[in-house]
Structure 1
Amino acid sequence: MNISRCRFIIGLITLLFANQVLAQVSTDAQRRYRSAVESVKIGDYVRAKTDLNAIIQRGGVLAPYAHYYYALACLRERKLDQARLMLKQLQNRFPDWPKKDEAHYLLGVVNMENGQYEDALTALQQIGDPGLRPAINSLEETFVGRITNLNQLKQLNREFPQNRSVGLALINLIQRTSSDKDDLELSDRLTNRFGVPVTASARSNTPPVQPATTPAASPATRPNNRSGRAKGYYNVAIMFPFRISEFDSGKRLRSNQYVYDLYDGIRMAKDKLQEEGITVNLFAYDVDNDAAKTQELLNGSAFSQTDLIIGPLYVEPNKIATAYANQNNILLLNPIATSNELILNQPMAFLAQPSLTRQAQQMAAHAMRLGPNRRVAIYFGASRKDSLLAVAYQAELKRLNAQVVDFQRLKATAQATADAMRLTPAARPATASAAQSATTVSPITLGHVFLASISDDDGPRLLDALARRRVSGPLMATASAFDYYRNSTSTFTRRDLYLLYPDYIDNQREFVLSFEEQYLAKRNTIPSVFTAQGYDMMLFFGRQLAKNGVPFRSRATLRSDTDDYLLSGFDYTQSNENQIVPIVKYDSGRFTKIN
């Protein structure tokens, strides 16, 4: 079996310790330890282990933590024997360490990865913290469920007769592969004791990356048992490019940090849904830009009970998954895409974000309400997304019978941008050269100016260029064209400025503050906007699955009707893309939503 494709997703277990412990070490030791932990997080394992080894050799209160992270670095490098030895050393030297249960769990993971199932189950048996039980169950179900040797499973059952994961795996394997009378009787006894195995295996907040190894019917011929009614639980497949196999010290690994943030938000929403009585089972799959592996995964038998797919993020795998979703009446959610082509004639596919076309329509409609002047200039940044949004905005203005008097990409400086502007006062013909236009003293009045850019340098640059050309009129811009921490207040107040802000979060809302505090306590870091997006979309679609069935019975109710979302909510009553497009304005020292 290809372990690199099937590897269990293990997040960094944040080992928090009391302030009095930190007070016992020097500032230099604290700094070195924190640097080493950060190196583990970003995948610089050589540097991490060098720093951690120095802490281990020095001894003291930080030494057991250094052992743990050293073992974690070895695991990420696939140096399983080294990881195992370091954890054994940790247990021998610090038998009373307060975080020993995390060490037992990590040793269980290492042994599972190494195929040492007896040692793994022995390590996991020593854990006393009930909070780790869901993770233990998921770990055991994932790896024990991969065993295809019937005699090996029987031996594990004899050694661990109370282990439910082993018992269920043995029941499942007997029912699939054996017709022996003694085996069937054993299966019956185990069923009476442990119940009937469910199709899905993982039931935790840190699900496994599932392999696609079991042949199954093609998506077109798989039986469809979906009746459109609500049920007791919902299986969610998360098809993201986790790239677990790339956790290598020689590579830059966190370019896909947003994937882990999205996933973290999804897991937080799962807990919230459970509080509401909605059970969601998460299954994470490491899906990169590989169409063949995506098809293999979808053809696996474990996928047949999926109710919602989130992803994939790449075009070709997404096409395959969308076709599968349509054929099998499974909802598919695109979490960050803004192209409405992904949902065109695709009834089961949804966009969590408003498309660029929808954003342009909403912003243009707002701009046209500001006054009668319909002369508009459109500028855009260097990225493809910038130009696509600018083109969509231009098309919408033409539909609204507005006059686009300038349409071009921004130049490298404010002066170069001002010189290149093809703008003249409305009463003058547009015959002046660029140099003449740049030196004109006549003011130019426009209905508004639109800027599409993902670069936070472009907003202030265009404001400066407009001032140099004495152009008046509101500026409608993407929020990403400004840096709210670096830019001064005058940047947002010297001109009538409206920002297109799909990711707007009102940080003064009580619910947002509460979520951030909760997340900080659990993760020891501030949630990113991707965390918020993952949380909101899982919360909304989880509630809709429970209320609307699979597939959705009614479009009329496909909107968020509570205020406990971190961003601006969802509305799918008119389309399979989110119709809500926040527009904000700076007022009284903060950005407030006006649309």
Structure 2
Amino acid sequence: MNIHPVPFAGLRSFGLTVFLWATVQAVLAQTDNAERRLKMAMQYIQQQDYPKAKAELRPLTDSRTGGIAPYAHYYHALADFNQKRFSESRAMLRQLLERYPDWKKRDDAYYLLGAAHFENGQYEEGIEELSRIGDQTLRADINSLESYYFSQITDLNRLKVMQKEFPNNRNLALALIDMIQRTSTSTADLELSDRLTNRFGVPNTPRPASTATPSTATTVIKPEKNRNKGYYNVAVMFPFRIGEINPNEPARSNQYALDLYNGMKLAKAKLQSEGITVNLFAYDVDNDLSKMTALMENPGFLQNDLLIGPLYAEPNRLATEFAHQNNIVLVNPISTSSELVANQPLAFLAAPSLNQQAVKTVAFARTLSTLKKAAIYYGNSRKDSTLATLYQNELKRIGFTMVEFRKVGNDLESIRMTEMNKPGHIFLVTSDENTGPKLLRLLAQRKVDSPVITTATAFNFDKNPLSVFTRNDLYLVYPEYVDTQRPETRAFEEQYLEQRNIIPSTYAYQGYDMLLFFGRALARSRGQLTNRSQLKTSPENGYLLSGYDYSAGNENQVVPIVKFDGNRFVLANN
């Protein structure tokens, strides 16, 4: 006979399981009077007339009523519970357990006793009572009960203390993970969340509201793709290197990862204001295959609707395979390598690849001059030479000839170009911020007035005076361009400064835009984001950078090219 109460919406009262009268006929038949009273009491409970029910049950709690007495205790406690008389309910249950230690339904008493403790905020005592239950058929109800009440705790420190006291309680761990991800920016909390997630998985339901029916699942189950569950789980796999963080050292090797993540947290709040609930789950994944492998083997990891990262090649390769096998979109947040998304329909680059930068810049350069000649200069890094080569190949494809294609360092005197052999345009790609000003001075000295296109990394915007950029035909390829005059940008900067106490970096902007864009895409597809046709081009709509375009491939095709208009940098390739 199952007499334990079944949790329902809000768990603020308990429903009565259908009483299987035939199974207790022998017990009830002991006396006609006891049978009548118990039967009447149960009818009153079903009618929610608890005072009358207790009036019938109270005499039956006397030990002389034999086998009926423990049931009378239990239903009297249940009536007290439904009247929110939780202390009285606990007292009656303890009397029941003391008087009838061998009662075959004592697990139901432990269950109700645990709930009565939870209602009074006595969570530790409630967990202890529930841990005494041996009947595994009650496991689903226990999970529902704990998940609901733990979700009502608003004190993060209280949850952490409880989790430390009950380290094997999965429902408690999931509640703590959820609260950390929603409310905390502490690196220590992030590390704790990471450890707990690796062990217990991620919460597979949103935080229950007062009218939500908690899940009774006892194992981690991947949400069905065709179910609009109303929230989306996003795994962020960055090299947070929590154990290496020293608060006394402002220059951290992983600062970019923290900035990306902090930008995402602001985007999460923005999405919430649009009615889109995103749960962020941070995983500390460095250049370590074992960590990525452990994640993929964790059943809870399957519940993610979107993967962001990892940032290193080998862990990223494993994550990409995992995403493909499980039909989950993966986003590479800062990489510019086309190879990461080649033949991978579910992998995307948030930044424009070097190939896209070359193609889009060549298309822009053709609008500057009819002369199909170009000079290309590049710096010492591999990225510089790769982009320069891609640019040269694209020019040659459309019939351009090269006046010069040369690697340059700090000494630009090796450049042979003069007024007599000037090209239709000049392209400089370098990571050396001193090279841009030097090239402009050299061209001025040699009276070469060809349009100049450079990468933004050829200049130091903090040190170079604005006069450096006043040349009319100077254009900068600037994927990280942010229009600081836009209201959205100013609002973001103020909010970020208020919360983080530092000015946002480029990575913070990137993290914000990325989650905002893909979070909206998840909402439009109701979590069934499975191909790039679902990623609408969005150049505006509150983004801080220049937007996203996946209309022609899985690499972002938006490549901002800017020029100085006398007051600020503005887009030149609208």
Q: For the superposition of Structure 1 and Structure 2, which TM-score range results when normalised by the shorter chain?
A: 0.5 to 0.7
| Counterparts in 2 of 1:376 and 1:524: CA distance versus 1, 3 Å | same
- Cα distance per residue 1:121-165 (max 9 Å; x no partner): xxxxxxxxxxxxxxxxxxxxxxxxxxxxxxxxxx99998775698
Counterpart Cα distance in 2 of 1:566 and 1:168:
48
Counterpart Cα distance in 2 of 1:570 and 1:172:
51
| Counterparts in 2 of 1:229 and 1:399: CA distance versus 1, 3 Å | farther
DSSP 3-state at the match of 2:194: coil
Which of 1 and 2 has higher RCO (CA within 8 Å, sep 6+)? 1
Counterpart Cα distance in 1 of 2:243 and 2:322:
26
The question of 1:352 aligning with 2:346 is answered no
DSSP 3-state at the match of 1:227: coil
Q: 1:377 offset after TM fit, Å?
A: 0.8
Counterpart Cα distance in 1 of 2:568 and 2:473:
15
Q: Which residue of 1 aligns with 2:567?
A: 589
Counterpart Cα distance in 1 of 2:132 and 2:555:
46
- Does the CA-based 8 Å contact 1:171-1:197 persist in structure 2? no
Q: Which residue of 1 aligns with 2:507?
A: 530
Counterpart Cα distance in 2 of 1:274 and 1:574:
30
Aligned residues with identical type, % of pairs: 46
The question of 1:577 aligning with 2:563 is answered no
Q: Which residue of 2 aligns with 1:146?
A: none
Counterpart Cα distance in 2 of 1:352 and 1:477:
22
Return the letter of the residue paired with 1:209: D
Q: 1:300 offset after TM fit, Å?
A: 0.7
Return the letter of the residue paired with 2:276: I
Rg (Cα) greater in structure: 2
Q: 1:188 offset after TM fit, Å?
A: 7.0
Counterpart Cα distance in 1 of 2:451 and 2:248:
49
Q: 1:314 offset after TM fit, Å?
A: 0.3
Q: 1:421 offset after TM fit, Å?
A: 2.1
Long gaps (5+) in structure 2: 1-112, 152-169, 185-189, 203-219
| Counterparts in 2 of 1:313 and 1:188: CA distance versus 1, 3 Å | closer
Q: Which residue of 1 aligns with 2:31?
A: none
Return the letter of the residue paired with 1:332: L
Return the letter of the residue paired with 1:243: R
Q: 1:313 offset after TM fit, Å?
A: 0.2
- Cα distance per residue 1:194-253 (max 9 Å; x no partner): 69969784241435224534699xxxxx99765356430000111000001113589996
Return the letter of the residue paired with 1:573: S
Q: Which residue of 1 aligns with 2:415?
A: 421
Q: 1:525 offset after TM fit, Å?
A: 2.1
Q: 1:412 offset after TM fit, Å?
A: 2.1
| Counterparts in 2 of 1:302 and 1:184: CA distance versus 1, 3 Å | closer
Counterpart Cα distance in 2 of 1:572 and 1:259:
24
Counterpart Cα distance in 1 of 2:396 and 2:123:
63
Counterpart Cα distance in 2 of 1:288 and 1:164:
40
| Counterparts in 2 of 1:170 and 1:274: CA distance versus 1, 3 Å | farther
Compute the TM-score of the two structures, normalised by the length of structure 2.
Answer: 0.65
- Does the CA-based 8 Å contact 2:378-2:385 persist in structure 1? yes
Which residues in structure 2 correspond to 1:138-157 (within 5 Å)?
A: none
Q: Which residue of 2 aligns with 1:560?
A: 538
DSSP 3-state at the match of 1:498: strand
| Counterparts in 2 of 1:260 and 1:162: CA distance versus 1, 3 Å | farther
| Counterparts in 2 of 1:287 and 1:162: CA distance versus 1, 3 Å | farther
Q: Which residue of 2 aligns with 1:461?
A: 438
| Counterparts in 2 of 1:184 and 1:281: CA distance versus 1, 3 Å | closer
- Does the CA-based 8 Å contact 1:247-1:253 persist in structure 2? no
- Does the CA-based 8 Å contact 2:114-2:127 persist in structure 1? no
Q: Which residue of 2 aligns with 1:209?
A: 194
Counterpart Cα distance in 2 of 1:300 and 1:245:
22
- Does the CA-based 8 Å contact 2:239-2:286 persist in structure 1? yes
| Counterparts in 2 of 1:556 and 1:187: CA distance versus 1, 3 Å | closer
Return the letter of the residue paired with 1:453: T
The question of 1:478 aligning with 2:455 is answered yes
- Cα distance per residue 1:157-210 (max 9 Å; x no partner): 9987756987999999999xx755787776676578669969784241435224
| Counterparts in 2 of 1:493 and 1:443: CA distance versus 1, 3 Å | farther
- Does the CA-based 8 Å contact 1:171-1:190 persist in structure 2? no
Q: Which residue of 2 aligns with 1:366?
A: 364
- Does the CA-based 8 Å contact 2:146-2:171 persist in structure 1? no
The partner residue of 1:392 within 375, 390, 397 is 390
| Counterparts in 2 of 1:471 and 1:553: CA distance versus 1, 3 Å | closer
The question of 1:507 aligning with 2:493 is answered no
Compute the TM-score of the two structures, normalised by the length of structure 1.
Answer: 0.63
Return the letter of the residue paired with 1:202: D
Which residues in structure 2 correspond to 1:194-343 (within 5 Å)?
A: 201-203=177-179, 204-206=182-184, 208-210=193-195, 212-213=198-199, 226-227=224-225, 230-247=228-245, 254-343=252-341
| Counterparts in 2 of 1:171 and 1:246: CA distance versus 1, 3 Å | farther
Counterpart Cα distance in 1 of 2:353 and 2:115:
53
Return the letter of the residue paired with 1:421: I
- Does the CA-based 8 Å contact 1:235-1:283 persist in structure 2? yes
- In the TM superposition, structure 1's runs of 4+ consecutive aligned residues that sit over 4 Å from their partners are 155-175, 178-201, 213-216, 222-226, 248-253
Counterpart Cα distance in 1 of 2:145 and 2:356:
59
- Does the CA-based 8 Å contact 1:556-1:573 persist in structure 2? no
Return the letter of the residue paired with 1:246: E
Counterpart Cα distance in 2 of 1:533 and 1:568:
10
- Cα distance per residue 1:366-402 (max 9 Å; x no partner): 1012121111111111222111111111111111111
